[in-house]
Amino acid sequence: MKVLNSILTLAFLVSGFTLAQKELTNELIWYSGEFSSDYVYSVSSMNDGEHFTQVEDNKIVKYSYKNFDEPVGDILNGKDYDLNISSYSFNADETKVLVETDVKSIYRYSYTAEYYIVDLKANKSTKLYDKAPQMLADFSPDGSKVAFISENNLYYKDLTSEAITQITDDGEVNKIINGTTDWVYEEEFGITKGFYWSPEGTKIAYMRFDESEVKEFVMDYYYGGTYPEKYKFKYPKAGEDNSKLSLNIYSLQSQKTIVVDRGPFEYVPRMKWTNDDNTLVYLALNRHQNNLTYASVTVDGENQTGAIMYQDRSDTYVDVDDNLIFLKDGNTFIKTSEKDGYNHIYAIAFDGAETQITKGDWDVVELLGIDEKKDIIYYISAEEGAMYKTLYSIKKDGSGKKKLSERLGSNSVSFSKGMKYYMNFYSNANEPYEISVHQASGKKISTLVDNAALKKVLEGYNLSKKEFITIKGAEYDLNAFIIKPPNFDESKKYPVYFNIYNGPGHNTVTDSWGGSNHLYHQLLAQKGYIVISVDTRGTMYRGAKFKKSTYLQLGKLETEDMIAVAKEVQAWPYVDPERIGVMGWSYGGYMSSLCMTKGADVFSMGIAVAPVTNWRWYDNIYTERFMRTPAENAAGYDDNSPINHVKKMKGKYMIIHGTGDDNVHAQHAYEMTSELVKENKEFDMYMYTNKNHGIYGGKTRLHLFNIMLNYTLENL
């Protein structure tokens, strides 16, 4: 009898636990803040390498890497100077702080702001410039000056005399840009800063863009007036003319500018001063983006001497990254290259001689730095698999490789100056961020953030475990994740919801915390869907051959893989083969549209958010990197554009776009729906007024995901 009572009690407890589990809603995920996580923002290592600072409650707080239970102090001595701190930087001796405030966004990365120089010794703040908003303010290496951009012109301010020198005077919106970049450089090369101080602060190298002949794109913004406001900006589409770029070096002493003779190359996606105050290295790229040249220019007065130091070539394309470090010997740099089929670290002498440092059938993800005293290089790699990021160290001669990450998952790292300590930002697919501080050897000192509160909140919801599997694609076994419904029963039949991207430069199958998107997938699982994401051919960290296999035919192999994967999944005994859906955003929206057209016999529902529907309408740097120009590769453009396959569509299709999308223009949605109407195909459409590519702000994301959830529930 006692045994029976114990069994009944246990059953009651289990039942009570199940009943106590809460269910997810879009309101909880996208609006309530219920799942907010702790994080560490605006971390900056101080010169001593023993301390760091971060913004807390509008204060710049100083901590010790060794012991951060209590802050060392408030850098601003308790004063806020009426400044709402967006970001900050120190001058060379850390006696002054450049504070950025009143930020106003322009595009994805660019913005204007107001800057103030806070003198920590004198306890006073001074506005940098009061005639117009500024951009990209930056201390000179000795901390005595600040260079900045205002209204497309480059300036610098002497902090002793407070005199402001205007370096350029021809800046004009939609015509001439000095010291910052045009739209397509910002979006596709990921840079907005287009000027750099020389090591001793005697010169400033800067880019000048003449975009006069670049064609304009016009968007209407609706703010409640009688007529919409028209916004015009320069946007070079595939095959169209770029800005005319010049690379310039300004001498503060002579107040003269030298225009660098950089040869016939189309792009300069990066530039960086060497340790020599007179020598600048710039990366020059041809329009096909398959020849990346490392070139130097040395200036002597008004004279210049140029040289080609190194060239990285490919039959397809060469990626541009920030993996470039100049060594103190003055004649060597280290960088990464895919030249042996995988992305690895090389040491390159200024005369072109090279030594490969890392080797293997895996990719280096990020080159973090080198401790030259110990000759140790630190890097993140995907050696443990394409879905993982792991920290390693290795000697410059390629010996002594050591794994430093303690846990399998996603590790990103920020080193202190001098590379004595690092902060490790760790997460995995089922656990939010843990942020810890380590010695450079890998030894953990302490945990800074553990997100215990969020983990406790998550325990109260009926979450399924995200698992990693491989699924057979058209040619390769492909990495995928799967989330099954709670209380999954193999005897039942479940619909499948594919969430995809599939494009170059982004993997969705990662062992990392996915935040709100992950929780939305959990919500779908609670509603009875199996959620799967697949990294098809063309995605990263499986070597250059796998990544670049889609060259000249974006969408073709990825769609073949998705159709093959979906057919494989249809054969699973617990899957309803008639209920296979797909959703994607941006490139993923492009792929969703291809799945619903080329894969119409397999996919019964598709949601395309902000999709490219024709590569002829997208920007030239991105598109031509993978496709060359429309004139060179017309079939590659047309054969895999969803607008040319709408006749095949059978299932339920919804397209969503923001009317203020400066990246993938709403033109893509309008042209797609026009073709659907021509073929008398039914579809659903939602447009978000004035919203950009991210479609967010206020309750926008909540509205968007409610729309997508309801559409899925009704049609899949």
Going by pLDDT thresholds of 50, 70 and 90, the confidence category of residue 175 is very high
* Residue-level pLDDT at 612: 98
Report the DSSP pairing between strands 44-45 and 135-139: unpaired
Residue 14: what pLDDT?
45
Helices (H) and strands (E) in the chain, counts: 12, 43
Rounded Cα distance, 712 and 716, in Å: 5
Q: Is residue 495 part of a domain?
A: yes
In which domain, by residue range, is 494 found?
Answer: 465-715
Sign of CA dihedral 508, 511, 513, 518: positive
Pair (578, 479) in one structural domain: yes
Contacts of residue 487, defined as CB under 8 A and 6 or more positions apart, other chains included, come to none
- Residue 509 lies inside a defined structural domain of this protein: yes
pLDDT tens sequence across 86-140: 999 999 999 999 999 999 999 999 999 999 999 999 999 999 999 999 999 999 9
Q: Tell whether 573 and 529 lie within a shared domain.
A: yes
**Residues 666 and 698 reside in one and the same domain:** yes
Number of domains in the chain: 3
Phi-psi region of 120 (alpha: psi -120 to 50; beta: other; left: phi over 0): alpha
470-516: pLDDT as tens digits: 999 999 999 999 999 999 999 999 999 999 999 998 999 999 999 99
Q: Which residues contact 714 (CB under 8 A, 6 or more apart)?
A: none
**Does residue 3 have a pLDDT over 50?**
no
Strand partners, 533: 481
Residue 35 lies in a domain: no
Q: How many C-beta atoms lie closer than 10 Å to residue 653's C-beta?
A: 29
How much of the chain, in percent, has pLDDT values that exceed 70? Answer: 97
| 3-class DSSP assignment, residue 636 | helix
* Cβ neighbour number for residue 286 with a 10 Å cutoff: 16
Residue 16 has pLDDT above 90, yes or no: no
CB 289 within 8 A of CB 552: no
Q: Calculate what percentage of the chain has a pLDDT beyond 90.
A: 93
Please give the pLDDT value at position 665. Answer: 98
- Mean pLDDT on 193-221: 98
Residue 709 — left, alpha, or beta (φ > 0 → left; ψ -120 to 50 → alpha)? Answer: alpha
Residue that terminates a domain, selected from 319, 344, 363: 319
pLDDT tens, position by position, 598-638: 999 999 999 999 999 999 999 999 999 999 999 999 999 99
If asked whether residues 159 and 176 sit together in one domain, one would say no
State whether residue 337 is helix, strand or coil.
strand
SS (H, E, C) 575-587: EEEEEEEEEEECH
CATH number at residue 284: 2.140.10.30
In a domain, 403, yes or no: no
Name the average pLDDT for the chain: 95
Structure confidence at residue 406 as a pLDDT band (50, 70, 90): very high
pLDDT at residue 12 greater than cutoff 90: no
Q: Are residues 224 and 287 in the same domain?
A: yes
Closest C-alpha to 663, from 583, 587, 596: 587
Residue 279 counted as domain residue: yes
Neighbour count for residue 679 (Cβ, 10 Å) = 10
Q: What is the pLDDT of residues 416-468, one digit of tens each?
A: 999 999 999 999 999 999 999 999 999 999 999 999 999 999 999 999 999 99
pLDDT of 223-235, one tens digit each? 999 999 999 999 9
**In the listed set 124, 146, 166, which residue is the last one of a domain according to the structure?**
166
Residue 1 lies in a domain: no
Domain shared by 131 and 227, yes or no: no
Q: Quick one: CA dihedral 305, 311, 316, 318, positive or negative? A: negative
pLDDT at 71: 87
Q: Is 517 within the bounds of a domain?
A: yes
Length of the chain: 716
* pLDDT average, residue stretch 652-659: 98
* Distance from C-alpha of 213 to C-alpha of 417, rounded to nearest angstrom: 44
Q: What angle do CA 311, 312, 314 make, to 5 degrees?
A: 135
Each residue's pLDDT tens digit, 433-445: 999 999 999 999 9
The answer on 654 and 541 residing in a single domain is yes
CATH number of residue 571's parent domain: 3.40.50.1820
**What confidence tier does 5 reach under pLDDT thresholds 50, 70, 90?**
very low
Does residue 173 sit in the same domain as residue 249?
yes
Q: How far is residue 71 from each of residues 59, 64, 419, measured CA to CA in Å?
A: 12, 7, 21
pLDDT score at 84: 94
Q: How far is CA 104 from CA 101, 110, 141, 689, 700, in A?
A: 9, 9, 27, 20, 20
Q: Indicate if 129 and 204 belong to the same structural domain.
A: no
Residue among 92, 104, 99, 91 nearest 60 (CA): 99
For residue 144, give the nearest of 252, 222, 48, 236 by alpha carbon. 252
Q: What is the DSSP string of 5-71?
A: HHHHHHHHHHHHHHHHPBPP-HHHHHTS-TT------S-EE-TTSSEEEEEETTEEEEEESS--SS-
Q: What is the pLDDT of residue 77?
A: 87
| Domain closes at, from 319, 352, 369 | 319
Buried b (16+ CB within 10 A) or exposed e, 624-639: bbbbbbbeebeebbee
Nearest to 385 by CA among 361, 416, 353: 361
Confidence band for 20, pLDDT divided at 50, 70 and 90: low
For 520-572, give the secondary structure using H, E and C. Answer: HHHHHHHCCCEEEEEECCCCCCCCHHHHHHHCCCCCHHHHHHHHHHHHHHHCC
Say yes or no: 175 and 144 in one domain.
no
10-19, 582-591, 686-695: lowest mean pLDDT where?
10-19
Which candidate, 708, 660, 680, places its Cα nearest to that of 231?
660
pLDDT at 196: 98
Split at pLDDT 50, 70, 90, the class of 17 is very low
3-state secondary structure of 479: strand
Six-digit token pair at 178?
């000095």
pLDDT at residue 11 is higher than 80: no
Q: What is the DSSP string of 357-411?
A: ---SSS-EEEEEEEETTTTEEEEEE-TT-TT-BEEEEEETTS---EE--SSSSEE
Q: Are residues 146 and 258 in the same domain?
A: no
Does residue 40 fall inside a structural domain? Answer: no
Nearest alpha carbon to residue 211 among 188, 258, 245, 187 = 245
CA-based angle 571:535:639, to the nearest 5?
Answer: 90
Tell me the C-alpha distance between 273 and 333, whole Å.
Answer: 12
Among 5-19, 423-437, 447-461, 693-707, the minimum mean pLDDT is found in 5-19
**Partners of 44 in the beta sheet?**
53
The alpha carbon dihedral of 199, 205, 206, 207 has a sign of negative
Q: What distance separates the 2 farthest-apart alpha carbons in the chain? A: 100
Over 70: is that where the pLDDT of 385 sits? yes
CB atoms < 10 A from the CB of 400, how many? 11
Q: How far apart are CA 135 and CA 154, in angstroms?
A: 10
**To which H or E segment does residue 3 belong?**
helix 2-20
Residues 275 and 248 in one domain: yes
Distance between CA atoms of residues 129 and 163, nearest Å: 11
